[in-house]
Amino acid sequence: LGADKEVETLGGQREQAWEAASRIFQHLSASVSDYPGMKRSLQMREAVVTIPVQFNGRQRRDIRRAMEHAGIRLQTFIHEPFAALISHFYEKERKLDVLKGKRAIVFDWGGGTLDVCLVEVSKDGQHIYEVAHDGIEDRAGDEFDHNLMRHVKRKFTEENDLPADFEPHGNVPDRFWVATEDAKKDLSVDTRVRVSVPSFHHNDRQMLDLSESVERSEFESIILPELEAAEVCLKRVLGKARVTPGLVDHVLLVGGTSNIPAVKKMVEHLFGEKVSVAREPDAAISRGAAIVAAEGWEPFNVKDIGVKLSDDSFFTILSAETPLVPRESKGFTFLCTDPRTGAADFFFHERHVIGDGAFVPLKNAHLSVATDNGIRKFDGMDRIIANFVITEDATLRCIAQSSSTGKQSEIEITDIGIGLKLK
């Protein structure tokens, strides 16, 4: 999603990514209405949507656009690690009291990606916010399946004296993938499994069935590069947050890949007994979103956002803990025209970490407002009137205008750290 991406849909047709997402929302809505066993028909009128931590404002906008097209109102966004944490620790009466003043790492390893997020809960238990995050694409459950398939196929080809580039045909690859994925899951419980695919290959003499035994130790050896990459990712998150494993109170494993014993062992090597696997790790995120919807909790801005002034000081535009809900614009007046260029430049920054005096530039967050180079006698006196508004996509939009020429420029800051405020 985002950046006007197109995707290929069923039948080879191409459409905008948000349009494809809209079809998914329409299917979900229809499924709710037709759910068997319900005494009355239900309608999905609004929803809380979980998103990866790295989703920016453009991607959030596409999600909202897709929902509106499907007839669903967006109640709020919530980061997937927050949803998982809430699902695991929430109690109806005590809410998230057990996490007050605590730090937790959510290690979400599913079928497609690995997402690691360090989360902190305020001492009063009213705010949940991200401290640091990192992730890896294409090193997850699906890749484990493909690696195991290659390993099993290599065994089969060697035993049957087939060419190394041998590829099965027809519906065999699909049956092979299902059998291998089932074997991968079984290896989380058993130390040895058998991958069986009848009628795997037909040669001139006979039909050959695939039936290969796989030890858990073999599988762990196959996925060792992925485990090492995941460990490095965890250490990167700790480095970004400037904390050591000893300063983390809880580590929660989420996603189907977290069921693999070697994964838990690797994380326990860093954090010891603090590691827990989420209850029903495949459903934890959706359950957390349902809790947020029921409680009416809202997103807020995590870190101060502002502009760097000419004396290297920091002028705050959007303070930390400000609710990220649409509101009236807030205006500021700046005297910042550079006489060398006849333009006013805004360089937007954010606090490096909460409570830290350092600030760092935001990506793609530079706004330049042109003024009239011919009015040199008024150098330094041109006022720049800047209005800021929080959008419904949890972004910060700025429209800045020169008072002398009327020229204006606009920018939307999309990479805002989003926390969750508990009511």
CB 236 within 8 A of CB 270: no
pTM here is 0.79
Q: In which residue ranges of the chain is pLDDT below 50?
A: 374-375
CB contact burial 333-346 (16+ within 10 A = b; e otherwise): ebebbeeeebbbbb
Q: What is the pLDDT of residue 234?
A: 94
**What CA–CA distance (Å, rounded) separates 192 from 185?**
11
Q: What is the pLDDT of residue 94?
A: 86
DSSP 259: G
| pLDDT tens, position by position, 231-254 | 999 999 999 889 999 999 999 999
CB 28 within 8 A of CB 46: no
Q: Is 132 helix (H, G, I), strand (E, B) or coil?
A: strand
**What CA–CA distance (Å, rounded) separates 221 from 262?**
10
Q: Is 58 helix (H, G, I), strand (E, B) or coil?
A: helix
| pLDDT tens, position by position, 177-198 | 999 999 999 999 999 999 999 9
Q: Which residue has the tokens 């904390």?
A: 243
Q: What is the pLDDT of residue 209?
A: 92
DSSP 9: -
Residue 275, strand partner residues: 251
Q: Is the dihedral of CA 369, 373, 375, 376 positive or negative?
A: positive
Q: Is 8 helix (H, G, I), strand (E, B) or coil?
A: strand
φ/ψ of residue 173, rounded to 5: -55, -40
Residue 361, strand partner residues: 349
The token pair at 95 is 């809410």
Continuous segment of H or E residues that includes residue 228? helix 224-241
The token pair at 30 is 């229809």
Q: What is the pLDDT of residue 267?
A: 95
DSSP 94: T
Q: What is the pLDDT of residue 232?
A: 94
Q: What is the pLDDT of residue 369?
A: 83
